[in-house]
C-alpha cells in the first residue's frame, strides 16, 4: 500500500491506477477494496481526532452488503455502521460516520441510496441501543425491519472492537433459538426470485433506456445464491459473512448445498470478465447480453437455474427447523 496517501482524492487516484491490474481476479479485487476502505477509514479517524480529539469511547466500525460478503465488483456503494460503548454521546460517532461516508464517496464508493451508513442514527448506536433495536426489528417482523435485519446480518468489523459485533450476533442467535418462527418470516422476505429467463427460454432483459438489452445481474443471478447462503448461515449460526466461506462451512453440513459453490464462483468470474471496464456503480449490476458468447449465455442460464434450486433447497432445510 502506498504511504503517500494523504487525501481522499489521492486514495481515489491510487484506486484508479491499481484497479485494472487487480480486477482480473475476484479474490485480489476484494482484497484491494478492503485496503482502500481501510485506508479511508484510517484517514477519516485521523481527521476526526485533529478536530474533535480522541474518540470518547471504544467503538467498532463495520461494513455490510457486498463489501462484507467479499463480493464487490469493480464499483460498489457504501453500506456501513457503527457500534460504540454504552454511555457515550452519539454526536462524535455520527460525525465520524459522516467523515467516513464523505471519504469513501470521494474515493469512488457511491453513497448508499437507502442511507445505510454510519452517518445515519439508525445505523450508528451504542451496544445496548443496537441490541434493543435488533430485537425490536425481529419482534416487529415488518417488511422493512426484516430487510434491516438481513442487511445487518451480513456485517463484519473493519476497525475497532470486533467483540461488539460478535456479541450482537450472539444475541441474535439466542433470540432465534427462542423464536424459531422468525426464520419463516426471513424466508418469506427473500423467497421472491426475479425471473430472468422467459417461457421461450429467452433472457428477460431491460427493454428500454440506457440498459436496454442488459440483464439485471444482481437481482436475477446473485440474489438467490446470496439469500440462500445467508438464510442457512442464520439457521446454522455461522457468523462468517463471505458467501464463498459460507459455502465452505455449510456444504459440510448440508450435502445439497455443495454442488452450487462452483456455480457461484463461475458467476463471480463471469461478472468480472464482463464488468471490469464499467465506469460507474449503477452499470455493474447490468450485463450486456450482446457481449456474451453462446457458451457464456448457456453457462449463465445454468447458473440462474441452479440459483433457484439452491434457494429452494435452503428454504426446505430452514423450514424443517422452524
Partner 1 sequence: MDSIFLMNNVWIMICAVLVLLMQGGFILLEAGSTRMKNAGHIAGKTIFTVGIASLVFWAVGYGFIYGEGNAFIGLSDFFYGDASSTVDGLAGSIDFFFQLAFAAIALTVAFGGFAERAKLSVYIVFAVLFSALVYPVVAHWIWGAGWLADLGKQDFAGSTVVHLTGAMAALAATILLKPRIGKYNSDGSSNNLYGHNQVYTALGVLVLWVGWFGFNAGSTLEVADAFFGYVALNTQLAAAAGAVAALLIAWAATGKADVPTTLNGALAGLVAITASCAFVAPWAAVVIGLIGGLIVFASMKFFDKAKIDDPIFALSVHGVAGIWGTISTGFFATPELAAMNGGLPGLFYGGGFTQLGVQTIGVAAGGIYAFIVSMVILVVMKNAMGGLRVTEEEEIIGLDMSEHGSYGYPESFGGDSQKPGA
Q: Which chain residues interact with partner 1 by CB under 8 A?
A: 195, 198-200, 202, 204, 207-213
- If the CB atoms of residues 32 and 274 are measured against partner 1, the closer one turns out to be 274
Enter the C-alpha cell of residue 119.
452517518
User: Smallest distance, Å, CB 118 to partner 1?
Assistant: 36
3-state secondary structure (DSSP) of residue 233: helix
Q: At what angle do helices 182-190 and 162-178 cross, to 10 degrees?
A: 110
- Compare residues 120 and 220 and give the one whose CB is closer to partner 1: 220
In the complex, least distance from residue 202 CB atom to partner 1, rounded to whole angstroms: 7
Tell me how far, at minimum, the Cβ of 19 lies from partner 1, in Å.
Answer: 24
Q: How far is the CB of 210 from partner 1 (least distance, A)?
A: 6
Of 231, 199, 311, 215, which is closest to residue 264 (Cα–Cα)? 311
Closer residue to partner 1 in complex, CB, 115/218: 218
Residues recorded for the chain? 322
As measured in angstroms, the least distance from the Cβ of 209 to partner 1 is: 5
Backbone angles phi, psi at 59, to 5 degrees: -155, 170
Nearest to 154, CA basis, from 222, 52, 58: 222
Cβ closer to partner 1: 199 or 295? 199
Max Cα–Cα distance, the chain, nearest Å: 63
Are 203 and 197 in contact by the 8 Å Cβ rule? The answer is yes
Q: Minimum distance from CB of 311 to partner 1 (Å)?
A: 18
Q: Which grid coordinates belong to 120?
A: 445515519
Cβ distance to partner 1 smaller for residue 4 or 208? 208
DSSP state of 291: G
Q: Among residues 27 and 195, whose Cβ is nearest to partner 1?
A: 195
Residue 28 or 212: the one with the smaller Cβ distance to partner 1 is 212
Burial class of residue 312, CB neighbours in 10 A (0-12, 13-18, 19+): middle
- How many separate helices (H) and strands (E) can be counted in the chain? 13, 6
Backbone angles phi, psi at 165, to 5 degrees: -70, -40
Minimal distance in Å, beta carbon 273 to partner 1?
A: 21
Amino acid at each position: 500500500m502506498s504511504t503517500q496517501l494523504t487525501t481522499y482524492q489521492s486514495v481515489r487516484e491510487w484506486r484508479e491506477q491499481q484497479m485494472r491490474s487487480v480486477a482480473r481476479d475476484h479474490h485480489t479485487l476484494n482484497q484491494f477494496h478492503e485496503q482502500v476502505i481501510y485506508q479511508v477509514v484510517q484517514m477519516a479517524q485521523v481527521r476526526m481526532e485533529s478536530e474533535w480529539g480522541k474518540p470518547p469511547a471504544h467503538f467498532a466500525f463495520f461494513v455490510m452488503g457486498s463489501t462484507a460478503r467479499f463480493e464487490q465488483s469493480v464499483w460498489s456503494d457504501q453500506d456501513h455502521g457503527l457500534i460504540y460503548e454504552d454511555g457515550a454521546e452519539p454526536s462524535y460517532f455520527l460525525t465520524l460516520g459522516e467523515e467516513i461516508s464523505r471519504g469513501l464517496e470521494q474515493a469512488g464508493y457511491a453513497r448508499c441510496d437507502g442511507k445505510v451508513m454510519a452517518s445515519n442514527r439508525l445505523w450508528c448506536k451504542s451496544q445496548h441501543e443496537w441490541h434493543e433495536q435488533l430485537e425490536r426489528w425481529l419482534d416487529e417482523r415488518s417488511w422493512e425491519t426484516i430487510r434491516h435485519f438481513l442487511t445487518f446480518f451480513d456485517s463484519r468489523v473493519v476497525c475497532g472492537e470486533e467483540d461488539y459485533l460478535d456479541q450482537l450476533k450472539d444475541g441474535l442467535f439466542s433470540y432465534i433459538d427462542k423464536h424459531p418462527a422468525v426464520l419463516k418470516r426471513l424466508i418469506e422476505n427473500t423467497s421472491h426470485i426475479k425471473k430472468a429467463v422467459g417461457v421461450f427460454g429467452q433472457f428477460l432483459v431491460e427493454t428500454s433506456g440506457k440498459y436496454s438489452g442488459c440483464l439485471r445481474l444482481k437481482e436475477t443471478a446473485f440474489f438467490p445464491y446470496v439469500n440462500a447462503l445467508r438464510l442457512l448461515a442464520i439457521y446454522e449460526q455461522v457468523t462468517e459473512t463471505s458467501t464463498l466461506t459460507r459455502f465452505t462451512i455449510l456444504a459440510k453440513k448440508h450435502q445439497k448445498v455443495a454442488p452450487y459453490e462452483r456455480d457461484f464462483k463461475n458467476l463471480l468470474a463471469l461478472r468480472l470478465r464482463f464488468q471490469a471496464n464499467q465506469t460507474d456503480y449503477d452499470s455493474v449490476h447490468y450485463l450486456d447480453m450482446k457481449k456474451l458468447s453462446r457458451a457464456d449465455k448457456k453457462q449463465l442460464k445454468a447458473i440462474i437455474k441452479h440459483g433457484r434450486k439452491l434457494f429452494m433447497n435452503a428454504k426446505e432445510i430452514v423450514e424443517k427447523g422452524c
